[in-house]
Amino acid sequence: MSLALAPLDLNVETEANLPCRKFDPDLWFSDSPTDLDVAKSLCGDCPLRVECLAGAVERAEPWGVWGGEIFERGAVVPRKRPRGRPRKEDLARDAALRVEAEARLAANGLATSRSAVRLAA
């Protein structure tokens, strides 16, 4: 069975308490790293977070926040970098965040190896 087509919990009111329905949808597709971090945090309590993430992984969403993860060019990224050349400490932090993102995906049963979901370097 496809993860994107996993059965939904029918006890959840689909339109009622979803953060992506209550807040400005542009927040989930912003160019600002800060806005994307806010969108990720809003996804934390969403009852459809796992299904949303599974669907985005399967579709290789080109960009935006899906299921509490940031997608860029079809890959999960730990955070969106601002424009310009990254500082050395930012590169080290990104490496640590990439490991955390892999762990979250694995915890949701979405990836057991780098080949299952492409994580941006």
pLDDT tens digits, 46-63: 999 999 999 999 999 999
Known binding residues are: 20, 43, 46, 52
pLDDT on residue 11: 52
First to last CA, the chain: 29
Annotation: binding site for [4Fe-4S] cluster? 20, 43, 46, 52
Give me the residues of the chain with pLDDT under 50, please: 1-7, 10, 112-116
What's the pTM value of the predicted model, to 2 decimals?
0.60
HEC readout, 47-99: CCHHHHHHHHHHHCCCEEEECCEEEECCEEECCCCCCCCCCHHHHHHHHHHHH
